[in-house]
A = this chain, B = another copy of it.
């Protein structure tokens, strides 16, 4: 349940391009992420179309629901930009010409050596009593206004202008007016273990009740998030994370929020390759270049892509009828003698009905580490998992050798 001492926030996006799906709403994620960092409880994201009646009633709902509303869009000069008018109607506040806003707009057009079009004048009208947010990056001034109880922050929908206003004005105002209580987020990035398997392991631990746990299932990586109260010392958090890491064994490849930060599996491999000063050659089959694409040009020497295993491994080369981890290791060792890299990774696969089994081997100094994995679903999905499995094997090899 939301902690009642924390300010509540609604992220409010406007505009037909968002509601119709023509644009993905990246503003909402940006604003929410900032609010989370401040320790606020985000209770809703709401998007409405450019319909005045709808906008008025949604603003009234938000006013009753939250302490803070961060609103983007609808401040432009055209007839479908109705945000300011909607606020005026929702809370019965008259609009008044803001001279500074008008002058800034005229200056903006002046710099472009263009007369300000008449339609833009409406952008200089703000609700009585509003605090203007200067727009140094475009035409539409933003503003801060209170409804009955909620503090509304209005910003343009253009991400660049919105982000600049957040950084220049809004974040400071939020810190000044609201109780900022920083919870502490630690993210464990995992690979090779399903969401439910993780959940089962976690259930067996005694994680303190005030630590909130959430998951984020991705393909092929899963994230486990631990949100600690601000009162937790780093040492206590570390002990808790250690406990979790212990039961998830080798599947955790990165821990964010306790000092380090690693974005994904490829970044993790990149760091290890650099630390150990290794270089790599690759033979890819099923993933068709998707492993190579994720390697860094500093240490990937070369890669051979053969979509069909038979093109790298003629049937006559196979003493047994089928491919297996041993065959992958043998090929990796053979390739490695011709390579000028310190490591060689080989990926082979076999078709079994609709599914595939991928066999991966990493070799360096004659030591070989291998893995096999059954892949289901669409080809594209199989390829993503096949390349992630290869990178993960490389990561484990680097940790062990």
Contact = CB atoms under 8 A, between A and B. Distances in A.
A114 to B, nearest CB: 8
Interface size class of A (residues with CB under 8 A): 35 or more
6 contacts: A13-B45, A21-B30, A76-B196, A79-B213, A302-B304, A303-B305
A20 B32 contact: yes
A311 to B, nearest CB: 6
Given A22-B216, A301-B307, A301-B311, 12 more contacts: A2-B49, A16-B214, A17-B216, A21-B32, A22-B214, A22-B225, A23-B29, A43-B54, A78-B199, A79-B213, A111-B374, A117-B194
A103 to B, nearest CB: 16
Contact of A24 (B29, B54, B117): B29
Interface of A: 1-2, 11, 13, 16-26, 28-36, 41-51, 53-54, 58, 76-80, 108, 111-113, 117-120, 137, 139, 157-158, 160, 194-197, 199-200, 203, 213-217, 219, 225, 282, 284, 287-293, 295-297, 300-308, 311, 355, 374, 376-378, 381, 383
The 9 closest A-B pairs by CB, nearest first: A289-B289, A21-B32, A21-B33, A289-B292, A297-B307, A45-B47, A303-B305, A21-B29, A289-B293
Contacts of A282: 305
Given A51-B2, A199-B119, A28 B21 contact: yes
Given A80-B214, A301-B311, A304-B302, A293 B290 contact: yes
A16 B215 CA distance: 9
A290 B308 CA distance: 17
Contacts of A50: 214
A313 to B, nearest CB: 13
B292 A305 contact: yes
A200 B76 CA distance: 13
A160 B291 contact: no
Given A19-B42, A288-B295, A303-B305, A200 B119 contact: yes
Nearest to A218: B158
A197 B77 CA distance: 10
A220 to B, nearest CB: 12
Nearest to A291: B289
A44 B48 contact: yes
Counted per complex, copies of this chain come to 2
A302 B300 CA distance: 18
Contacts of A306: 301-302
Given A49-B42, A289-B291, A293-B289, A120 B196 contact: yes
Taking each of A42, A45, A213, A306, which has the highest tally of chain B beta carbons within 10 Å of its own beta carbon? A45
Contacts of A108: 376
Nearest to A387: B293
A44 B46 contact: yes
Nearest to A113: B374
B29 A137 contact: no
A74 to B, nearest CB: 11
A297 B42 CA distance: 46
Given A158-B217, A302-B311, A44 B47 contact: yes
Contact of A118 (B17, B30, B200): B200
Contacts of A43: 48-49, 54
B17 A21 contact: no
